[in-house]
Chain A
Amino acid sequence: MLDGLSFELLMAIVASMAPVLCFGLIMVFTRRSISASVTVGIIGSFLSWFASLYLFLHYFHAEEAVVFKGAWVVSASLKIPFGYYFDPHSLLMLMIVATISLVIQIYSIGYMAGDPGKSRYYAFLCLFSWSMINLVIAPGLLQLYIFWELVGVSSYLLIGFYFEKWSASEAGKKAFVMTRAGDIGFFIGIIILMLTTGHLSIAVFGNAAEVGNTGLSQALLTLSAILIFSGAVGKSAQFPLLTWLPDAMEGPTPVSALLHSATMVAAGVYLVSRIFPFYAASSTAMMVVLIIGTITMLLSSTMAMTARDIKQVWAFSTISQLGFMFMGLGAGAYFAGVFHLTTHAFFKALLFLCAGVFIHHFETNDFFEMSKAGARKMLIPMITVTIGVAALSGIPPFSGFFSKEAIMAGLAHKGNIWLIAGLLGAAMTAYYSFRVIFVMWFPKGEVEEHGHGHEGGHDDGHGGGRWAWVTEWSMLSVLLILGAITLVLGFFQKELEHFLTGHSAEHHGSQLILVLALGCALAGVILAWFEFGAKNAKQEGFLSRMKSVEALFSNRWYMDHAYRKLLDYVVYGGITNTFTRNDRVIIDGGIDGLCRFTVSLGRAVSRIQSGLLQYNLYLTFLVVALMGLYFLLV
């Protein structure tokens, strides 16, 4: 099927297949033994990471995309490839996914210590990274779609990991169903492309010169681009399908980290950037992307301003940063969007993993309570979370600053109104994220010291005394690694741009935009400082003086209520009810009626059977005689 087995191909197979092998091994063989499962999972992701690193370095200077593929379906006018497609974009993404999966598996040694379902957890993590890796290196849209759905399935499994908890299983279901709603559009878009062009190769749709030659009319192109974008809207939790993501916090925290940085939600942005030239060919589709991104970014930033749950804040910030990436892509700034995706993957994983350490230690999700319990005594997580937040709000010299600035430049290029929206979003982001940081660094009111100190390790029954340092350092070392990446990644902007686009343009943002972006971020930070950080601050946001606005924000703009109403009145009240009634009255009634008719007919006819043998004989002779007569006459 694949032509020639070279060493590179072998590495590609290792990179893409090691995790699923581990999934199988854990599910079939080592499920009973937690330590064996953990070993298998980590070795698998390490192999996958190593192979990805090899491929990344090996193809770093490759002139054009390297493709290993076999024909999967070939029909008269239809060719669907299956295999691997390595170009700078997929290599970069492959590297991100493999790295984040690896560090999260290492982190989970500590975070999930003592959980009886740990084997299952590792198996699902492997399944998750396998689907995402194959999504990233897919050469065709159909393969991408298959793994896209697998990503959905594995995130469903992981969000609902604590399935014995009602809210967790509900959240998993919600995530699955809401993303499916977008995927329907994606699939229809693929079908349109397949019917009109006869192939789904990314090599074509990802190449500006060839998109024009596919013979798609402008209207069809726009239609299919918007339909495919609806899949990305579902996956990346954009407006109006964004309400599943905050609920997805029900899963274990490392899962949230994985979900929010490199896998699930990144898939949507990746899809759009993957076939970016295809989008660039339709200005309407680009405008839709830009508008959806802007609405999402502003909406979710406001939602984050009132949340008290640290994971919720990060979740809303993920949505808004994804919106930001879509804004960048929609404004035509391809590199800025992808660069922000890259930096965001690392600092968001960092933020979630820090939050995981706090949640693990204080057993609460509320950062006001964490602060009161003495969160600032945990130095390493506190410093790394501050780095992460600084990157998130775009404070130099952290990575987020560079990528945000690149997007701002793209937005300014598009028009001032988009730039203003972007700046507003940046200010809100800085405000809500530094709100968390200031609250945690500067607890107000009575401070109750937590029972066991941070140095003592987690001696609460799991981990065991001798192994406590493993639990502890598996988590802390990952924080340090991610913190370091967040610190330095921004300085590789030039190299990455050259790698991705083939040329490194000079700094296209003007000084003014730089100053504006920085000023907005700082304004947000300062506002947060006066409300939450300063000595006599009351730690109450300015929103608490506007009750109705606060209620609107903390109820997530009533979007959940709207969906609830929609479900209750249209789906359950309308459609389901009609079908239930159809089932009860027409189908059940019809079958019951037939049964009753048969039974009563039988009762009526059975009167003939008197039990007297001779009547039966009479009848027999009569029939035989009549038949004889009939044959005689005819």
Chain B
Amino acid sequence: MNELQVYLFVALILFCLGLTGVLQRRSLIAMLISVELMLNAASLNFMAFNRFLTPEPAVGQIVTLFIIGTAAAEAAIGLSIILAVFRRYQSIDIERARELKG
């Protein structure tokens, strides 16, 4: 197992943790954190490929910077949605907000 594969393996574990968190946790804050984990896994992938495979180092780093920026924005929006949900249901439990059904 070379070094690239190690990084990719770590990123995979991170992504799976995030996915499990999003799908399993009932708390909206926990789900948001899990989404951040998935984004980080993606960033890690970019950095790893950038370090080991490309001769030009700048591109992957720029993309990673973008991801961090989007993640920040996403966290801001997500938190404000969570606030709104809390005001509506007095709770941030996802099971309480189930009006979107047929």
A interface residues with partner B (beta carbon < 8 Å): 605-614, 617-618, 621
Contacts and interface: CB of A to CB of B under 8 A. Distances in A.
Nearest to B19: A621
B102 A609 contact: yes
21 contacts: A606-B101, A607-B102, A608-B102, A609-B100, A609-B101, A609-B102, A610-B101, A611-B98, A611-B101, A612-B94, A612-B95, A612-B98, A613-B94, A613-B97, A613-B98, A614-B23, A614-B94, A617-B23, A618-B23, A621-B19, A621-B23
Contacts of A609: 100-102
Q: What are the 5 A-B residue pairs with the smallest beta carbon separation, nearest first?
A: A606-B102, A611-B101, A611-B98, A609-B102, A609-B101
A606 B100 CA distance: 11
B56 interface: no
A232 to B, nearest CB: 70
B3 interface: no
Contacts, number: 30
Nearest to A613: B94
B98 to A, nearest CB: 4
Interface residues of B, number: 12
Nearest to A605: B102
Contacts of A606: 101-102
A565 B94 CA distance: 75
Given A618-B23, A621-B23, A611 B94 contact: no
Given A611-B99, A611-B101, A614-B24, 13 more contacts: A605-B102, A609-B102, A610-B98, A611-B98, A611-B100, A612-B94, A612-B98, A613-B94, A613-B97, A614-B94, A617-B22, A617-B23, A621-B19
A257 to B, nearest CB: 75
B78 to A, nearest CB: 13
Contacts of A605: 102
Interface in B83-101: 94-95, 97-101
Contacts of A618: 23
Interface string B46-88: 0000000000000000000000000000000000000000000
Contacts of A621: 19, 23
Contacts of B102: 605-609
Contacts of B100: 609, 611, 613
Nearest to A603: B102
A424 B100 CA distance: 92
Contacts of B95: 612
B66 to A, nearest CB: 21
A602 to B, nearest CB: 8
Contacts of B101: 606, 609-611
Interface in B11-37: 19, 22-24
A614 B100 CA distance: 12
A492 B100 CA distance: 97
A453 B47 CA distance: 120
Contacts of A608: 102
A255 B97 CA distance: 80
B54 to A, nearest CB: 23
A180 to B, nearest CB: 56
Contacts of A610: 98, 101
Nearest to B26: A614
Nearest to A607: B102
**A609, A614, A617, A621 — most chain B CB neighbours (10 Å):** A614
A605 B98 CA distance: 17
A223 B33 CA distance: 92
Contacts of B22: 614, 617
A621 B21 CA distance: 13
A610 B100 CA distance: 8
A278 B58 CA distance: 98
A625 to B, nearest CB: 10
A511 B23 CA distance: 119
Nearest to A612: B98
A607 B102 CA distance: 6
Contacts of A607: 102
A617 to B, nearest CB: 6
Nearest to A602: B102
Listed residue (A613, A617, A621) with the most chain B CB atoms within 10 angstroms of its CB: A613
Contacts of A611: 98-101
A621 B102 CA distance: 21
